[in-house]
């Protein structure tokens, strides 16, 4: 079992729809969780962090965390073509290092 699992995609959604990106992790000691967006050929850019169970909203983005289920998700409302990118889930492990998933490729169709 991988430490962090994400569906590689591509996840294709029409413009204006909600994109739902999911991530499961194996380290029960993880307390901090991060979502990064990475455009092709660019470095990852932090878009959301979440530390407590429940939802955290920031503009069109909502992160959801369920530590009991070892599950974290990212919702993107009103998806735009500019949201097309790879989204990386990264829990911080017990060793204090980020453990990255391989990412989900999101394609927003105009």
Shortest Å, Cβ 31 to another protein: 10
The token pair that represents 16 in the structure block:
């204006």
Q: Among 42, 66, 78, 80, indicate the residue that binds another protein (CB under 8 A).
A: 42
The residue from 23, 24, 44, 106 that contacts another protein (CB under 8 A) is 44
Taken in order 49, 68, 66, 38, the sign of the CA dihedral is positive
Q: Which is nearer to another protein, 44 or 85 (CB)?
A: 44
Q: Please identify, using beta-carbon distances, which residue of 17 and 26 lies nearer to another protein.
A: 26
* Structure tokens that stand for 39 in this block: 């455009």
- In the chain, the N- to C-terminal Cα span, in Å, equals 36
């Amino acid at each position: 079992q991988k430490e962090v699992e994400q569906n590689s995609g591509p996840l294709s959604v029409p413009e204006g729809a909600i994109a739902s990106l999911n991530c499961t992790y194996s380290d029960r000691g993880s307390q901090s969780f991060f979502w990064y967006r990475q455009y092709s050929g660019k470095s990852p850019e932090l878009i959301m962090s979440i530390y407590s169970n429940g939802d955290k909203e920031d503009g069109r983005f909502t992160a959801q965390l369920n530590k009991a289920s070892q599950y974290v998700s990212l919702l993107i409302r009103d998806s735009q073509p500019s949201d097309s990118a790879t989204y990386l889930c990264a829990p911080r492990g017990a060793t204090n290092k980020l453990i990255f998933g391989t990412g989900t490729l999101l394609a927003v169709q105009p």
